[in-house]
Amino acid sequence: MSKTRVGIVGARSYTARELLGCLLRHPDAEAVSLMARVEAPESLGEIHPPLRGRIDCPVTPIDLDVLTQETDVVFLCLPHGPAAEMARPLLEAGKRVIDLSADFRFRQPALYAQAYGQAHPAPELLDEAVYGLPELWRDEIRGARIVGNPGCYPTAVLLALAPLVRAYPNEVPAVGVIANCVSGVSGAGRTLSERTHFCEANEGLQPYGLVTHRHAPEIDAQITALTGRPLHVTFAPHLAPMDRGICATVHIPWHGDLPPMEEARGVFESLCDAEPLLRLMPEGKFVNTKAVANTNLCDIAVTADPRANLLIVMTAIDNLLKGASGQAIQNMNLMIGCEETTALL
């Protein structure tokens, strides 16, 4: 079998670097076209020093013709807006597209417009776009032409919450769930900003974007898509002084009697037994982002506060891998029909 030819647009980003790190080990796919908003071809090793000398492919100006001729699958590592604009001609040319921006995470243009403050550039594509969280939508991803790769926080929160919502549709309340999340700084990407300046971010822990963060409606919309009922999660993201990792601590005030712990754990045990990239922590142990750093794994732990009639589910992921590029590769694996975890374990 010839290898799947991969194009990456937005090759300067950290997510592109991580995609390339995965592709280095991928037997069935290879990066053939790396593009970015550059004036002239640049050396990949200059842009991403860890990749120097390891991938023999320059980063060239964005050229749709080349992409359509040379690639089978294209990863878009662009800002929202430009991503959807580029997706349309790629799809028309028969390419399959995995978009790491937010452009294909919402099925309803109105939700997108509300969250991102602009009309969707390609609303006609939203119906067929699939939300690329394989643990929830594996079958749909397999056949998708366009996958909206999930946000990093939604990945962590949905893997904590969705299994319970499915198992206990009447007990998880429509409002009242609180998702406290802490992320490493790479979640903010490579663009320079005061918040991500080393001397500002180091040795500081700070909440930001509480309630208003754009990942909040993404979480709500996905849970609603799963259940058909509206659900609103209070989302409280924080920034921690580390490169990688998201820890989600999801508090679920329970409607009705709390299930016994073995029953609640059982939901996740079944899930983790079936899912190659999810791991349930032993009883009494919690998660740690460090244990999943540089992997595509998601660790899950469950506990309860019986006095408050509350379940607490914790997840930990690497925001750049399971929260972005690793998950994108997982989606590609499903789409091209190779083993789902190829290059990811």
Which residues, 157 to 176, sit near a copy of itself by CB under 8 A? 175-176
- Residue with smaller CB distance to a copy of itself, 57 or 66: 57
Please report, as a single letter, which amino acid is at residue 328. Answer: A
8 Å CB contact between 151 and 105: yes
Size of the site for a copy of itself (CB under 8 A): 75
Among 211, 228, 257, 274, the residue binding a copy of itself under the rule CB under 8 A is 211
Q: How far is the CB of 222 from a copy of itself (least distance, A)?
A: 16
Of residues 6 through 65, those in contact with a copy of itself by CB under 8 A are 14, 24-25, 46, 49-50, 52-54
Q: How far is the CB of 325 from a copy of itself (least distance, A)?
A: 14
Instruction: Give every CB contact of residue 39 below 8 A, 6+ residues apart in sequence.
Output: 61
Nearest approach in angstroms of CB 248 to a copy of itself is 10
Q: What's the min distance (Å) between Cβ of 234 and a copy of itself?
A: 5
Specify the residue, 193 or 270, whose C-beta has the smaller distance to a copy of itself: 193
Backbone angles phi, psi at 199, to 5 degrees: -70, -15
Residue number with CB closer to a copy of itself (91 or 185): 185
Gap between the Cα atoms of 34 and 14, Å rounded: 13
CB of 340 to a copy of itself, least distance (A): 16
* Among 1, 198, 228, 262, interactor with a copy of itself by CB under 8 A: 198
Q: What values do phi and psi take at 74, rounded to 5? A: -125, 130
Q: Does 124 bind a copy of itself (CB under 8 A)?
A: no
258-297 binders of a copy of itself (CB under 8 A)? 279, 282, 286-295
250 to 43, 160, 165: CA distances (angstroms)? 43, 7, 12
Pick from 219, 316, 321, 344 the residue near a copy of itself by CB under 8 A. Answer: 316
For residues 68 and 35, give the distance between their C-alpha atoms in angstroms, rounded to a whole number: 13
Stretch that binds a copy of itself, among 79-87, 95-103, 133-141, 208-216 (CB under 8 A): 208-216
- Annotated catalytic residue within 152, 181, 272, 298: 152
Residues with Cβ < 8 Å from 161, sequence gap 6 or more? 172, 177, 179, 219, 223, 233, 250, 252, 313
CA 343 to mean position of chain CA atoms: 17
Measured distance CA(1)–CA(307) in Å, rounded: 58
We find the least distance from the C-beta atom of residue 272 to a copy of itself, in angstroms, to be 8
Task: Report the 10 Å Cβ neighbour count for 202.
Answer: 10
Please give the distance of CA 189 from its chain centroid, rounded to a whole number: 13
Interacting residue with a copy of itself among 136, 314, 321, 328 (CB under 8 A): 314
Return the number of the residue (67 or 267) whose C-beta is nearest a copy of itself. 267
User: In the chain, what is the straight-line distance between the N-terminal and C-terminal CA atoms, in Å?
Assistant: 22
Task: Assess 206 for contact with a copy of itself (CB under 8 A).
Answer: yes
Fill in the per-residue mask, 178 to 197: x = in contact with a copy of itself (CB under 8 A), - = not in contact: x-x-x-xxx---x-xxx-xx
Interface with a copy of itself in residues 98-117 (CB under 8 A)? none
Task: State how far the Cα of 219 lies from the Cα of 179, in Å rounded to an integer.
Answer: 10
H or E segment to which residue 143 belongs: helix 134-143
Q: Rounded to whole angstroms, how far apart are CA atoms 4 and 179?
A: 38
152 is catalytic: yes
**Min dist. Cβ of residue 174 to a copy of itself (A):** 10
Residue of 69, 118, 202, 270 that binds a copy of itself (CB under 8 A): 202
In the stretch 214-253, what mask flags binding to a copy of itself with x, by CB under 8 A?
------------------x-x-x-x-xxxxxx-x-x-x-x
Residue from 143, 149, 139, 146 nearest 97 by CA:
146
Q: Which residues are catalytically annotated?
A: 152
